[in-house]
Amino acid sequence: MDGDAVGASPKRPGLRISRDSIAKRLFFSATVLSFVILLVSGLALTTIYKRGAEDNFDERLGVYLRALVAEIATPGEAVRLDPDELSDPQFELALSGWYWQITRLDSEKPLIRGSRSLFAAKLPRLSEQGVEAGLGGARRGYVKGPDDRPLRMLERVIDAGDDGIFLVQVAATTKDLDAQIARFELDLVVAFSLLALALIGSSIIQLRYGLRPLRRLRRAVVAIRRGQREMIEGDFPRDIAPLAGELNLLIAANREVVERARTQVGNLAHALKTPLSVIMNEAAVDQGTLASKVEEQALIMRDQVSYYLDRARAAVRAGTLTGATEVAPVVEALLRTFEKIYAARAIVFSATTERSIRFLGERQDLEEMIGNLVDNAGKWAAREITISVVAEPVTDVAGRTFFRVTIDDDGPGLAKEQREAALRRGSRLDETKPGSGLGLSIVVDLASMYGGALELGSNPTGGLRAELRLPLAEAAAERS
């Protein structure tokens, strides 16, 4: 009988799958860049608009300032410190936020006159706050008013000659200016938000359209992996076409290597088996002890040659691009064969197979694995052998999906300590049964080459249960 060993899943060095896709990276970078550009543009536009709004507001204050300066510096008239009230009624309302003030600077005790809106309060001086004078000697800036509200102020020193030196100031609340700037910022945020959404939408459309050739290339490779095509076909952009061409060359070279290896393995098999057959035939003529020993060893050599040649063929096939094999027809064909082989013992074979399951590998390897397991079960079964093929609902850590072939017989079964020995190459627990002891070890090696495993255990009826775990073709296609 053959036991409880698991074929280890082979690792694929050099390949690490990142969670980030190209589309996600491009989308993220485009979104971040768009956000940064819009933010910088918004700050620049806000600064420009704020400066323009302040210039317009200063221009309005400048009109009142020039009117006061003209009132003071009118030639031929005595300077009055109570000029006619300006036309704007806000200068008349107490603490309205609109103020003017004229201060004579060349007298021992500065004489100050201001608008009625000051309500006996005084305006601070920009010169005392370190504000530099601009063109024409005027200063402009922000101060706190009599009621601690922020004011925008213009002031200028006027030298009226013999009539004196005066400081003329005009200030107004920034409430309207701030409201105007706030409205602009709100409108800018709304407009740029809509623009950002439009840019994100256009990025998604560009990515879907731009990456479409890569998706077509992936589907073409998947079709080759499934065995539906032999080469990558179709029109691709100039950036992708060289990659598709290189893949086609790689696939063609891979197939050429496989065919050359198969030919060489076959030639080696014939070259070795023919001399062994001659030796066995010659030994069979002589009934002596030496001839018997030669015949026995020649049989062992033939079995070993077959085993390693089969293993070499399987290694070549498993390491190359393979197609997909439907499992149900293979199982049904094997059962028909074994029903004839074990017809004399009246063993009943039954199978339950999911029709959609496909093996990611060569048909002859699947036939050899399942065939060896069914043949082993047939040698030990009393009356019945059952086979079930089901897909596993979960994937492994590498994201691969598998299916499981379970073969139960109603024979004597194996103790736990015997199962490991049953899987060793050439091991035979009962010499009365036919065979070379290579069947289960071949299954283990083949399953391991495909990333699968073989486990031996006990079925509910007490016989042996063999569970063969193999890769599912559809899952591998989706990962491609």
In-domain check, residue 256: no
- Indicate the burial class of 35 (C-beta count within 10 angstroms; 0-12, 13-18, 19 or more): middle
Residue 316 has pLDDT above 60, yes or no: no
Residue 119 has pLDDT above 70, yes or no: yes
What are the angstrom distances between the C-alpha of 106 and each of 149, 160, 345? 30, 11, 134
Residue 456 has pLDDT above 90, yes or no: no
**What span, in angstroms and rounded, lies between the C-alpha atoms of 48 and 71?**
34
In-domain check, residue 347: yes
In-domain check, residue 209: no
In-domain check, residue 422: yes
Sheet containing 453-458: give its strands across. 348-353, 384-395, 401-409, 464-471, 453-458
Q: How many CA atoms lie within 13 A of 452 on its CB side?
A: 29
pLDDT of residue 81: 46
| Domain final residue pick, 154, 174, 194 | 174
pLDDT of residue 278: 74
In-domain check, residue 409: yes
Total count of domains within the chain: 2
| Confidence grade of residue 270 (pLDDT, cut at 50, 70, 90) | low
Tokens of 418: 């015997």
**Domain harbouring 146, CATH code:** 3.30.450
In-domain check, residue 428: yes
| Domain final residue pick, 125, 153, 174 | 174
pLDDT of residue 3: 42
Residue 240 has pLDDT above 70, yes or no: yes
Residue 141 has pLDDT above 80, yes or no: yes
Residue 33 has pLDDT above 50, yes or no: yes
Q: Which of 148-162, 191-205, 386-400 has the lowest mean pLDDT?
A: 386-400
pLDDT of residue 414: 78
In-domain check, residue 466: yes
Residue 268 has pLDDT above 80, yes or no: no
Residue 388 has pLDDT above 70, yes or no: yes
**Closest by alpha carbon to 99, among 48, 155, 179, 46?**
155
**What span, in angstroms and rounded, lies between the C-alpha atoms of 42 and 185?**
8
Domain hosting 136: range is 74-174
In-domain check, residue 179: no
pLDDT of residue 313: 59
Residue 328 has pLDDT above 50, yes or no: yes
pLDDT of residue 331: 93
Residue 4 has pLDDT above 50, yes or no: no
Which residues have C-beta within 8 Å of that of residue 173, sequence separation ≥ 6?
96, 97, 98, 145, 149, 150, 151, 152
Q: Is 346 left (phi over 0), alpha (psi -120 to 50) or beta?
A: left
Mean pLDDT of 219-244: 80
**Closest by alpha carbon to 280, among 266, 267, 297, 263?**
297
Residue 102 has pLDDT above 70, yes or no: yes
Tokens of 53: 């709004």
- Provide, rounded to the nearest whole percent, the portion of the chain with pLDDT above 90: 17
**What span, in angstroms and rounded, lies between the C-alpha atoms of 223 and 227?**
6
Q: Could you report the per-residue pLDDT of 400-447, keeping only the tens digit for each?
A: 788 999 999 988 877 777 767 666 644 444 444 444 445 677 788 888
3-state class (DSSP) for residue 462: coil
| Domain final residue pick, 126, 142, 174 | 174
pLDDT of residue 318: 54
